[in-house]
Amino acid sequence: MKKIIVSIAITCYCCCIYAQQVSPDVCIQTMGLLQNKIAHSHIEKGDIVGFWSCFENCYDNSIEILEFRNEILYALLQLYPKLTLSTLQEQSTSILDRVVHDLANPLHEGINLLKVYYKVATAEQVDNHLKECLLSGLQIAIDNKDVDN
C-alpha cells in the first residue's frame, strides 16, 4: 500500500512540475494524498508545491475540486503556515490571485477564520507583500461572516 501511495505521489508531483496543467483526476488524487498527510502530520514541501497546481483556472468549474482545495488550503494555512507561504511565494501571480479568491470565499462554515488570519500574520521569514495579499482575502471572509451573523 505504501508503494502505491508513494508511486501516486511521485506521479502527481512530476505532473505538477513538468506540465502546465494536470488533469482533474490527478488534482483530486494530489489533494486526497495531501489530506491524508495532514491527518497524519507528515507534510513535506513537495506535497504543498504539488497542491498549487490545483489552482489552475481550468478547475474553476468543478465544485468538487473547489470545495476540496478550499478545505486543504485553510488546513495548510492553519497547521503549516510558514511552509505553505514559502511555497506559495514561488508560484505565479495567477495562482496567488486564485488563492486569495478562495480565502475570501470559504466554502466551509467550520473554519476559524481569525485563527487562520493570526497564523498567516505571524508567520516569520515570509514576503510581506504575500502576507498582505492573503490577509486581505481573509479579512474579506471575516467581514462577510460578520455581516451574515
Digit-coded pLDDT (tens) for 72-91: 999 999 999 999 999 999 99
Residue 39 in grid coordinates? 491527518
Nearest to 138, CA basis, from 108, 105, 110: 105
The yes-or-no verdict on residue 40 having pLDDT over 90 is: yes
Looking at residue 29, its amino acid is Q
CB 56 within 8 A of CB 21: yes
The whole-chain average pLDDT of the chain stands at: 84
Q: What pLDDT, on a 0 to 100 scale, did the predictor assign at position 20?
A: 55
Please give the grid coordinates belonging to residue 63: 465544485
Q: Which pTM was predicted?
A: 0.81
The stretch 132-144 carries a mean pLDDT of: 95
Residue 96's closest CA among 68, 136, 41, 37?
136
**Residue 8 predicted with pLDDT over 60:** no
| The three cell numbers locating residue 19 | 506540465
pLDDT at 55: 86
Give the integer Cα–Cα distance in Å for 27 and 69. 9
pLDDT tops 70 at residue 5 = no
Q: Convert the pLDDT of each residue in 106-134 to its tens digit.
A: 987 788 999 999 999 999 988 899 999 99
